[in-house]
A and B are shown apart, each in its own frame.
Chain A
Amino acid sequence: MYLAKNASAQQIREATRARQNRYDIVRALSTGEVSRRDLLRWGLFTGAGGLAATQGLNPFLGQAHAAIPTGVPASPLFGALPFQTPMPRCDLMQRSELSTLTPAPQKQALTSKTRVAASDGTLVDGPMEGRPPGALWAHQGWDLFPPRVAVEQWQKGAEDCLDYHPGVGSSHNCDIDPAQAVKPCFAPRMPAQSAQSLWTFGGTVPPKLLLGRYGEPILFRHHNALPGRVASNGGFGRNTISTHEHNGHHGAESDGFTGAYFYPGQYYDYHWPIVHAGFRTINANATDARCGAPDGHGGITKLPGDWRETMSTHWFHDHMFSFTSQNVYKGIAAMFNLYSSLDRGNEAINDGVNLRLPSGTAKDWGNLEYDVNIMLSDKATNAEGQLAFDIFNFDGFLGDLMMANLTYKPYFFVERRKYRFRFLNASVARFFKLALSNGAPMIQIGNDGNLLPRAVQLTELDEMGIAERYDVVIDFSNYSDGTRIHLVNLAEHQDGKLVSKHLSIREAMSGKSQDPCVGRFLEFRVRGTTRAVDNSRDFSRPGGMDLIPNPDLSKIPVARRRTFEFGRGANQTTRDPISSALGPWGVKVDGGAMLAADFGRVSAAPKAGTREIWTLVNGGGGWDHPIHIHFEEGQVLARDGSASAVPPWERGRKDVYRLRPGGSITITMQFRDWGGMFMEHCHNTVHEDNAMLLRWEIDPGGNAVLNPLPTPIPKPTGVEFVAPTQRLAGA
């Protein structure tokens, strides 16, 4: 992505010229005027993927840094300096009464007509709701878990935020005055992003945060208010969207299936019941207080399900087929905190159930004063300061601007006490590896939104793959007023395929790395002449590191074992113009052919009510893949075939599994409570888009012969259903 710091003026000119030369192709590709198949035929893409070595198109020809992929000139900073901008807290999404929604949500998609934008921007008659119609895509559990909270969001191009709700007072938000308009820029000196460049929830920054609690089903109405013309995208991004609640345990109709996208002018009602997995069979009478939710008055509402399946830190993001990386990069990503009787968001309630994690005390649940969401990402901008992306790169796009909550290398005030930080890697291809600049210990309490069976104290966190979430407690109580400590990224990339080198803290801070996102990126500024009041958990007491044990799977027989290998050189066996994609990336199922994605193909179909063991294999040593499996959390059983090789921070539940170069990981997961079509894919979303993704289904009948579901093919005039393009033998 980045040129070397010592790149010559000529190299920079060539890179700029190459970028300009490619602009027309980029634009045509992004708007669908040409396809990747066309570019392959014309020789502009190589068979293995990536931009052909054509003079004037590839800015790295003849350079020593040819291995670095897309190479655009460094993003201009417009005078912005590190640690001069406060990191804003996420902006809370408004929770409303269900009665505020018009029209009222329904179990099946509402098919009343409205005006929907076709790709050229012309308006046609189409259904109001983009959800596929009919019984197959009706909300599962609608009667059992009727929605109680409405959240309504409009996906829009960038605009000023005039209604900022950080959920905390200014003293907990770097003294930011929420009454002031927040411009959609990454630093005050940087230009505001245009409505074509940045597409966020509500069109605003800071990024959004939704608070939910178990037992309180949410109806998330997502309006597509993006530009009607597909070409009005600033060169990348697709205006059709599908929102994945990562990793919600919901029915498939609310999962954000990659092929269930909807158009500008439409909305999609997602029903998130927020239930503990196993609710139909475990603790079905809701007698265990550990399986519960804050009742709003200091007590607990007991709920059915397995308390050991409690989840905490989610996020949701776009999952548009072949365009996920571009759309997430453009800002279609938000965080989602789930609160429960165990993870209350109130550190003072001492009832023997609440784990009393750093948060606050003012409200019954969901206090954020000492519980901070941090969305990490890397971005790049063009000469005008607008977001830039290189769709020619199939290995993974890397930016050169390090962001925390969409702010360039910010600072954040902390008091002298413990904080919980919920880190999310919201990049498209970059891995992070976090440490504090002084090497101070941190306590990792969660992985992928799941509190660990046992917290682990570390000074250098493990690599954090795309979409992984690490919940970490940092204790600032021993620092004096005015101390400045930095979060440091130790993971050096040379390209988007994998981390090229883990640096020591000293190396990362030396400034010698050619990777602009290595080193310090967030400055903690300690303030307070005395220690602040801290009612949160004492991790040093006996059992203090014990959090949520894993579900007991020992009595659940393994119905089947499957192997998925993730690699290069994928073939496409189907030719559906909508549902099939070209490689070079692909997935090999149980030793079969390496196949490029087709969301019309059913690659696996576990039986409802069973447990399986899946081994995920990295087919090469020159890349890494953070593999995400939708639906329910899994448990890591082994790395490279060895149970003892699973590190302590991976011994809880997870939904993203980093394979490591040349490595493999064996997991187990259950298939229960809900049905439908789900996905498994690399969360390096550039790999996912090109075409490392597969569809699997839960066979609801548990029949010996799978009856695959029809594939939705959304159009502005309505969703059509077609038969699956393929069902893999033995699926």
Chain B
Amino acid sequence: MKTIVRFPRIARRRLAPGVVALVLAMPLAVVAVSVRAPLLRVLAELDNGVERIAFAGQIDIASRIIDDPVFNGPTMLEMVVDFRSVRGVGRANGRAFGTEAQTVVHRPLLPFDEFELTFPYQPGNDVHSARTAKATISVAFTPQTGLRMTSKLDLVRADVVN
């Protein structure tokens, strides 16, 4: 699973250089405001209890770094995480799985942070058969190297989180 990091212009933005890291691949260093990485041929193959699904694609993350000079509060990292380019194919019958999910995440900007995000995926348009996948996003930041993100994909079973 590859991760794309973009830095749109904001009012209070640190022009941190972006680093895109790919799961199972060497990190690809990019110094730019907007970053797109080449496609990654990594398959996350998951068993949702009904069938095995091979996932591929990309998670698109547009991020901003937000300072708080008024209260001198913690610097915030905003990530708009778009899962729409993640696609799955059922191994048994070739069914296509997709998602339209996005999520907006605010976290304090730390030297290292790791967190999970869930998103639904379903066969075709059958939203009533949707299941949940889990992406683990790792973020590393230094003023020198900027942001560095990695991700990996997993499944959420009903009894895993609860």
Interface residues of A (CB under 8 A from B): 67, 435, 437-441, 443, 456-460, 462-463, 475, 485-486, 497, 499-507, 509, 538-542, 544-545, 568, 617-618, 620-623, 640, 642, 645, 647-648, 660-664
Is residue B8 contacting chain A, with contact meaning CB distance below 8 A? Answer: yes
**21 chain-A/chain-B pairs, Cβ below 8 angstroms:** A67-B71, A437-B161, A437-B162, A441-B120, A441-B130, A457-B99, A459-B101, A462-B104, A463-B104, A485-B162, A500-B108, A505-B161, A539-B128, A568-B70, A621-B11, A621-B12, A622-B69, A642-B8, A645-B62, A661-B76, A661-B78
Asked whether B100 lies within 8 Å of A540 as measured between CB atoms, the reply is: no
Distance of B157 from chain A, by nearest CB (Å): 8
Alpha-carbon distance A500/B104, docked complex (angstroms): 13
Q: Mark B84-118, 1 if CB is under 8 A from A, else 0.
A: 00000000000000011111111110000001111
User: Taking A439-B156, A485-B162, A660-B78 as contacts, is the C-beta distance between A459 and B102 under 8 angstroms?
Assistant: no
B interface, CB within 8 angstroms of A = 8-12, 62, 64, 66-71, 73-74, 76, 78, 80, 99-108, 115-120, 122, 125-132, 134, 156, 158-162
Given contact pairs A460-B118, A622-B68, A501 touches B127 in the complex (Cβ within 8 A):
no
- Contact A661 B130, beta carbon cutoff 8 Å: no
Contact assessment for A540 and B119 in the assembled complex, using a CB-CB cutoff below 8 Å:
no
- Across the interface, name the chain A residue whose C-beta is closest to B120: A441
Which residue of B70, B105, B126 is within 8 Å of A622 (Cβ)? Answer: B70
Contact yes or no, A622 B73, CB < 8 A = yes
Q: Are A506 and B67 in contact (CB under 8 A)?
A: no
* B101 x A621 contact (CB < 8 A): no
CA distance A317 to B68 in the complex (A): 32
Q: Is the Cβ of A545 less than 8 Å from the Cβ of B66?
A: no
A398 to B: closest C-beta gap in Å? 16
- Whole-angstrom distance between the alpha carbons of A440 and B131 in the complex? 7
Q: Which A residues touch B62, using CB under 8 A?
A: 645
Assess the B161–A459 pair: CB atoms within 8 A: no
Give the chain A neighbours of B10 by CB distance below 8 A: 640, 662-663
> Closest Cβ of chain B: how far from A73's Cβ, in Å?
25
Contact yes or no, B70 A441, CB < 8 A: no
Judge whether A475 and B128 touch: CB under 8 Å: yes
Chain A residue nearest to B116 in the complex (CB): A504
Q: How far is the CB of A3 from chain B (nearest CB, A)?
A: 19
B158 touches A438 (CB 8 A): yes
Contacts of A439 in B (CB 8 A): 118, 132, 134, 156, 160-161
Interface contact A621-B76, CB-CB below 8 Å: yes
A506 touches B71 (CB 8 A): no
Closest Cβ of chain A: how far from B14's Cβ, in Å? 11
User: In the complex the two chains form, what is the Cα distance from A505 to B129 in whole Å?
Assistant: 21
- Among residues of A, the one whose C-beta sits closest to the C-beta of B114 is A504
Task: Give B161 Cβ to nearest chain A Cβ, in Å.
Answer: 5
Taking the nearest CB of chain A, how far is it from the CB of B160, in angstroms?
8
Residues of B within 8 A of A660 (CB): 78, 104, 106
**B67 contact set on A, CB distance < 8 A:** 621, 662
Known: A501-B106, A640-B10, A642-B8. A506 touches B78 (CB 8 A): no
Are A502 and B105 closer than 8 Å at their CB atoms?
yes
A458 to B68, CA, bound (A): 30
Contact status B156-A501, CB under 8 Å: no
Residue from A67, A502, A621, A664 whose CB has the most chain B CB atoms within 10 Å? A621
Shortest C-beta distance, A370 to chain B (Å), equals 15
CB distance from A469 to the nearest CB of B (A): 18
| A501, closest chain B residue (CB) | B107
Known: A441-B120, A457-B120, A645-B8. 4 other contacts (CB 8 A): A437-B162, A459-B118, A501-B108, A648-B100
Residue of A nearest to B8 (CB): A640
Residues of B within 8 A of A506 (CB): 116, 161
Q: Is there contact, CB below 8 Å, between A457 and B106?
A: no
How far is A731 from B107 in the complex, measured between Cα atoms in Å?
A: 39
A501 to B131, CA, bound (A): 26
Q: Are A539 and B64 in contact (CB under 8 A)?
A: no
Given contacts A506-B116, A622-B71, A640-B10, contact A438 B162 (CB under 8 A): yes
Top 4 A-B pairs, shortest CB-CB distance: A622-B68, A441-B120, A621-B66, A504-B116
Judging by beta carbons under 8 Å apart, are A661 and B106 in contact?
yes
* In the complex, residue of chain A having the shortest beta-carbon distance to the beta carbon of B137: A504
Q: How far is the CB of A535 from chain B (nearest CB, A)?
A: 15
The answer to whether B68 touches A647 (Cβ under 8 A) is no
A485 to B126, CA, bound (A): 23
Q: Which residues of A contact B120 (CB under 8 A)?
A: 441, 457-459
**Which chain B positions have C-beta within 8 A of A443?**
127
Q: Are B108 and A459 neighbours in the complex by a CB distance under 8 Å?
A: no
B70 touches A540 (CB 8 A): no
Q: Which residues of A contact B69 (CB under 8 A)?
A: 620-622
Q: Complex Cα distance A352/B149, Å?
A: 48
User: Given A435, A541, A661, which contacts B118 in the complex, CB threshold below 8 Å?
Assistant: A435
In the assembly, what is the distance between CA of A206 and CA of B150, in Å?
A: 47
Let me know if A645 and B66 touch, CB within 8 A. no
Distance from A229 Cβ to chain B, minimum over Cβ atoms (Å): 38
Identify A647's interface contact among B8, B104, B129, B131, CB under 8 A. Answer: B104
> A509 touches which one: B106, B158, B161 (CB < 8 A)?
B161
Q: How far is the CA of A507 from the CA of B116 in the complex (A)?
A: 9
Please measure, in the bound complex, the distance between the C-alpha atom of A642 and the C-alpha atom of B10, giving whole angstroms.
Answer: 11
Q: A457, A460, A502: which contacts B122 (Cβ < 8 A)?
A: A457
